[in-house]
Amino acid sequence: MESVLRTGIKEAVRKLYNGEVTDELIQIQETRKDFKGDFTIVVFPLLRFSKNTPEKTAETIGKYLMGSFPSISGFNVIKGFLNLEISDKWWVDYLADMVSDKNLMKKCHSGKSETILVEYSSPNTNKPLHLGHVRNNLLGFSLYRILSACGHKVIRTNIVNDRGIHICKSMLAWQKFGMGETPESSGMKGDHLVGTYYVLFEKEYRKQADDLISGGMDPAEAKNNAPLMKEAREMLLKWEAGDPDTIDLWKRMNSWVYAGFDETYKRLGVDFDKIYYESDTYKLGRDLVYDALEKGLLNKNGDNSIWVDLTAEGLDQKLLLRSDGTAVYMTQDIGTAALRYEEHKFNRCIYVVGNEQNYHFQVLKAVLKKMGYPWSDGLFHFSYGMVELPEGKMKSREGIVVDADDLITEMIETAKEVSLELGKLSDYSDEESREIFRMIGMGALKYFILKVDPRKNMTFNPAESIDFNGNTGPFIQYTYTRIRSVFRKAGQMKVSVSASFNPDVKAGPKEIQLIRLLRRFTATVIEAADGYSPAIIANYCYELAREYNQFYHDFSILGEPDPSVRDLRLVISEVTGRILKQGMDLLGIEMPERM
């Protein structure tokens, strides 16, 4: 319809005002809910042709369009805005097109396919995944699906931070206090086991620092000179020098962590096309830094540390290699970015990383630009807000976190408790029930996190997320299963659900309202892709589910005596179910057939 209106406006300006209007001047929007109409034309840019008031221009163009296009059934003017009403017949015909089009996602394709890398997860191998990682993984995976739905070639990547002083802390604590403990001997997942030693290191290290402070040492000096911290730094130097015993311990403990990560990723329903490791990419980054130094693009201080001066770019001076030659995070990010471009020649590389790293990614882009890489213009930091608990911020070093595995288990158990309390699934087998509890629990978790604007901080409340009413995943899942139930009953009643229905059927206001909402699906997916926001799709799915439930409550479907109206309502139900399933799939949420 927007294309028809665009053509009509051009014709109107040509015939009424003898002018030629460009697409850039034609502004068409959906009419706001508090006004009557379906589409609104902003007439202010057209005043240069009409040489008249906004109201008179809108009135004249409205009369022309209504007389030229039968699908326009009425219009009204609010100052410089022309609100057009589209005939019910056009909406019913549009629904018929949606029914016959089994792949609505094709309409999301812009025609220009890009190669896009999406980096998400980015865990450290010194601790298990926690609630913050859950938001990261869900956002990254959903972004991959949304961009793919818009026709792009999307490559899912993960960078594992498997080296550095924090990794050495866990290694050193296990070496000193572990007494040979393994995942097998402890019965713990490997990532959980290694995480306990990271927390233990911090505990023992603080004791040592406090003892030094009690002896009269300055606090900053005490933290730097605590024996455990000195040993951790020595271990890092040994690791970078390739000391065999240190490397063997590192490989052993990391293997425990990777096995644990894989299990958590599987439960979350996320995966990757390519995993990069900082232990590999920092070497390339270091070489690139030395090359740039030789070209005079970087600076070396008297202590042999290497820096980049970004003051001309409005930033500051940034360390790239320490005086002892060891690398920093920025070094490995330089190497990773260069390796990815070499391998994939991406148009865009999207880093799904929390907003605490905003400055880091400003610097990364500026450094790569300064080093002469034009593809750095394609780097984008998808900066999302932090996840907090009702009681406050999580702290990994103190072990005050919501463990991802524990959270997943809790969500599934809560789904089970709520479902049994509501009397659902009483006639299901244990295996069927467990699978549905899993879908509901994970749907609740994913939806609660993804419905929030990713740029905002959020507080996660498991009890709120599992509610079967309101803006929750289970509510949308239940709406879908309600639609599936309608079609199961239709089959039992021998009611044929045909893709074709009487195009002259009289649709009521509620049916037209639902068709309007269904039509918005593809535009919603495109908007979510352009804005990097799964929340747009999540809240659209809720709005559609809410409107359908109201429709279901107010109108009979299978009990409707008029076959034409019944068929119309069945078709609306079929398309609604299909769009809810596709929309939730873009969020990584499964839809059960029954609940």
Q: pLDDT digits over 151-161, tens only?
A: 999 999 999 99
Residue 254 pLDDT exceeds 70:
yes
Q: Which residues contact 308 (CB under 8 A, 6 or more apart)?
A: 297, 298, 299, 317, 318, 320, 367, 370
Computed on alpha carbons and rounded to an integer, the radius of gyration of the chain in Å comes to 30
Kindly report which listed range (293-307, 412-426, 563-577) carries the lowest average pLDDT score: 412-426
86 vs 89: CA distance, rounded Å: 8
SS3 367: helix
- Structural domains present in the chain: 2-86 (3.30.1360.70), 163-270 (no CATH), 273-399 (3.40.50.620), 446-586 (1.10.730.10)
Q: Tell me the average pLDDT across 446-463.
A: 91
Give the amino acid at 90.
W
Q: Tell me the average pLDDT across 315-339.
A: 91
For 452, the token pair is 């929030």
Chain centre distance of CA 332? 25
Give the amino acid at 107.
K
Q: What percent of the chain has pLDDT over 70?
A: 96
174 vs 433: CA distance, rounded Å: 41
Mean pLDDT of the chain: 92
Q: Provide the b/e sequence for 267-276 (b: ≥16 CB within 10 Å).
A: bbebebeeeb
Q: Which residues contact 559 (CB under 8 A, 6 or more apart)?
A: none
Residue 400 pLDDT exceeds 90:
no
Residue 290 pLDDT exceeds 50:
yes
Question: Mind listing the pLDDT tens digit for each residue in 468-520?
Answer: 888 999 999 999 999 999 999 998 888 876 656 787 888 999 999 999 999 99
pLDDT given for residue 397 in this prediction: 43
pLDDT given for residue 391 in this prediction: 62
Cα distances (angstroms) measured from residue 73 to each of 21, 66, 87, 120: 24, 7, 5, 49
520 vs 280: CA distance, rounded Å: 46
Question: Mind listing the pLDDT tens digit for each residue in 91-146?
Answer: 999 998 888 777 777 777 777 899 999 999 999 999 999 999 999 999 999 999 99
173 vs 283: CA distance, rounded Å: 26
Regarding beta strands 317-321 and 153-160, do their DSSP bridges make them parallel or antiparallel, or are they unpaired?
Answer: unpaired
Residue 299's DSSP bridge partners are: 307
